[in-house]
Structure 1
Amino acid sequence: MANVFVSTFPFCRSDKVAIEHLLKNGHNVNVNPLGRKMKPNEVLEHANDFDALIAGTEDLTPLVENTSQLKLISRVGVGLDSVPLDLCIKKSIAVAYTPDAVSPAVSELTIGLMVDLMRQVSFADREIRKGQWTRPYGNRIGNTNIGILGFGRIGKRVASHLLGFLPKEILVCDVLDKTTEIEAIQNLSQELFTLNAKLGKNWNQTIIRQVGLDDLVENSDILTIHVPLLENTKNLINFDLMQKMKPTSFLINTARGGIVNEEDLFEILKSKKISGAALDVFEEEPYFGSLKDFENVILTQHMGSCSNDCRADMEREAAEEVVRFFKGEPLLSKVV
C-alpha cells in the first residue's frame, strides 16, 4: 500500500475510474485541494511525505530536491519539462508518463483554433455580445499553406486531420528526418484525391514536404507548434523569427508555454506584423498577461487535453502505472 498525492488539476472530474483503481488496489489517495494548478512550493508542501505523485505540468523541482520519501512520479500527459529527470535518476525516483492518450484531443483543438482564427468566430461572438454585427470576412484552410513545427504524435495527427480541408501545402519542420511519416500522410492525400476524382470533384491534392525553420516561418499561412519545451526550444519563437512571418499569417501554440516569447508576440501583434494568434499554453498559468487585450488573439486555459475521453484515458493510465510500480511490475511507459 502506498500514499499517493495527485497534484494535477483537474483530476477525475468526469470519470472516476483512475481514483477508483488506486483505491481498489489499497492505496491512500490525496488530491490537490486548491482547485487550480499548484505552484512549485505548494507541491513540495503538500506532497513531500508521499510515496507516489500523479502530476500534471507543475514544476516538481523543489519536491524532488527535498523529498526522501517519493519513489514514483506518474505524469498525466506527455511533456516532461516540469520534471527534473537527472535529479530523479540521482535519487532513484522512477518516472512514467502517458504519451498517447493526449494526442487526439490536442490535435482536434488545434484544428478548431485554426478555423476560429481564420474565420474570426470568437471575434464575431464578442461583437454580438456588445450589440454589434459587422459579419467579418475570413479565409478558409483550403488552398493555404499550413506549417507544422514538430512532427511527433500530435503533429502527425494535425496533418492527417487537415487533409479533408484540402490545404495547398503542409510544411513540416522537425529536427529528425520525417520522410517515412510524410510519405504515409502523402499516400492518404493521394487516396483522398483519387476518391474525389471518382466523384467528379476536380480538387487539388495537398502536398506535404519537410522544410527548414526559416522556410516554414516565411511560407506558412498558419504556423502551429507541436514541439516539447527543451533548452533549445525555450523562446524559439521570438521577435526575430516572428517578423519573418507573413503579415496575413496566424500563430498557434498548443504545445508548451515558454516556446513562444510572449513579450515578443505582444510587440509583433502591436505592430501588426501577423494577423493573429491562438494560445492554449503560457509561461505562467493561470494567465493574466497583456495578450488578452488583443481582439485578434484567442486564449484558452491549457485545455488541449481536456476532452472527457482523453482526460479519462490519461488519468487511468497514470493510475495504472502507480499500481504496477507498487506491485513490482514493469512500467509500460517508463521515462527513467
Structure 2
Amino acid sequence: MQKVFVSTFPFCRTSPKALEVLESNGYEVVINPLGRKMKPAEVAEAAKDFDALIAGTEDLTSLVNATKTLKLISRVGVGLDSVPLDLCRDKGIAVAYTPDAVSPAVSELALSLIVDALRKVTYSDREIRSGKWTRPYGERIGGSTIGIVGFGRIGKRVASHLLGYLPKEILVCDLIDQTESISILNGVASNIQKVNDNLGKNWNSSKVTQVDLETLLKTSDAISIHIPLTSETKNLLNYKKMLLMKPNAVLVNTARGGIVNEYDLYKALNENLISSAAMDVFEEEPYKGPLCELENVILTQHMGSCSNDCREDMEREAAENVVGFFGGGDWERVV
C-alpha cells in the first residue's frame, strides 16, 4: 500500500472528493495536522518516508534532499517555484500539477481586485468603520487602459473578463508571440461593441495589443501580474519599474510573492508614486510586513484559488494524478 502525505492547507475543507479518490484506490493518507502552511523543515520531517506528496506552495527542497522513498510530488495548483525540479529529476521523483483547475478562480479574483483598487471599495469600507464618509472618487475599467503581464491560462481569462467592461485598451506583455490569441479576443471585443451599439450605448470599442514591459508600465491605468516566479522574474516590479508607472495607476499581484518587491512597493505607495495596489501573494506567508501600515493597499490571504468549486477540482485532480501515476493511468505531467 502506497502512503500519501498531504502538506497543503487547507485540504478537503468543503468537499471530501480528493480524499475519497485516494482511499477508494487503497492509498494510506496522512493530512497536514498543523492547520496552517507547513515550513520546509516540517514538510521534510513529516513526509520523508512517504511514497507521494500532495503539496501546496511549501518549499520542498529540504524534503527532496532528505527523502529516500518519495516517488511523486503532486502539486495542488500550477506554480512550481517551490519545487526543485532539477533536483527531482536527478533523484527520479516525478512531478505533477493541476494547471487548468485554478484559472477561473484566480482570474476572477484578479478582476475583482482591479475593480476594488480603481473604485476604492476597500478604502471606503475602512473609512466607514473609522467614522468617516468622504465618498472617494475612483476610475472605471471602461475607458481605461489595463496591462496584463503574462498571457498564459490566467492572463487570457482576465483579458476575456475585462472585455465586457469596454476598456480603452488591454495591453499584453509576454515572452511568446500572442498574435493568434489577441486576434480572437479582438474579434470578441468587436462583437461586444455591436451589442452595445444596438443598446444605444456610445462607447468606444476595446482593443488588445501586445507591447513590451516598459510601454505597458508607462501606459496602463491598472496592471495585473500573471507570470511564474523564476530567477528572471524575481523583483521584476521594483522601485525603478514603479517610477515608470502613472501616478493614478494600480498594481495587482495574484501570481507569486517575490515578483513585486514588497519594500519597493511600500516606498512607492508611501510616496504616492502610484495610486494603490492589491496583493494576494507575498514572499513570506502569512504576511506581517510594512504594507499592513498603508491605507492604499488591499491585502488578501493567497486566496486566488479559494473558491469552493476550484479548490475541489484542484484537490481532486491532484489526487487523480497520484492514482494515475502509480496505477499506470493518466496524470498531468510537469515537463
Report the TM-score when normalising by structure 1: 0.98
Identity of aligned residues (%): 65
- Find the counterpart in structure 1 of residue 327 from structure 2: 327
> Separation in 2 of the partners of 1:198 and 1:275?
36
In the other structure, the counterpart of 1:192 is 192
- Partner of 1:205 in structure 2? 205
TM-score by length of 2: 0.99
Q: CA RMSD in A?
A: 0.8
What is the correspondence of 1:244-255 to structure 2 with a 5 Å cutoff?
244-255=244-255
Which residue does 2:265 correspond to in 1? 265
Name 1:109's counterpart in structure 2: 109
Please state if 1:173 is matched with 2:173: yes
Residue 27 in 1 paired to residue 5 in 2? Answer: no
Shift of 1:296: 0.6
Is there any run of 5+ residues in structure 1 with no aligned partner, and where?
Answer: none
Q: Partner residue of 2:161?
A: 161
1:227 is matched with: 227
2:308 maps to 1:298: no
> C-alpha distance in 2, partners of 1:271/1:126?
21
Residue identity opposite 1:335 in structure 2 = V
Cα distance per residue 1:287-308 (max 9 Å; x no partner): 0000011101000000000000
Render the CA deviation track for 1:107-144: whole Å, top value 9, x for unaligned.
00011101111111111111111222221111111100
Give the aligned partner of residue 142 of structure 2.
Answer: 142
Q: Aligned letter for 1:79? A: G
The one-letter amino acid paired with 1:252 is: V
- What is the alpha-carbon distance in structure 2 between the residues aligned to residue 122 and residue 254 of structure 1? 17
- Which whole-Å CA distance do the structure 1 matches of 2:114 and 2:170 have between them? 14
Matched position secondary structure for 1:224:
strand
Q: Residue type matched to 1:217 in 2?
A: L
Give the match's secondary structure for 2:127. helix
CA shift for structure 1 position 330: 4.0
Distance 2:34 2:251 in 1: 32
Structure-1 residue corresponding to 2:313? 313
Q: Deviation per CA, 1:192-247: give whole Å up to 9, x if none.
A: 11122223222211011000010000000001100000110011011110111001
Q: Which residue of 2 aligns with 1:119?
A: 119
Aligned residue for 2:288, secondary structure, equals coil
CA distance in 2 between partners of 1:238 and 1:192 (Å): 36
Q: Which residue in 2 is equivalent to 1:60? A: 60
Give the paired residue count. Answer: 335
Q: CA deviation at 1:318?
A: 0.2
Corresponding residue for 1:277?
277
The CA deviation string for residues 2-24 of structure 1, in whole angstroms up to 9 with x for no partner, is 10000001100011100011011
SS in 1 for 2:208: strand
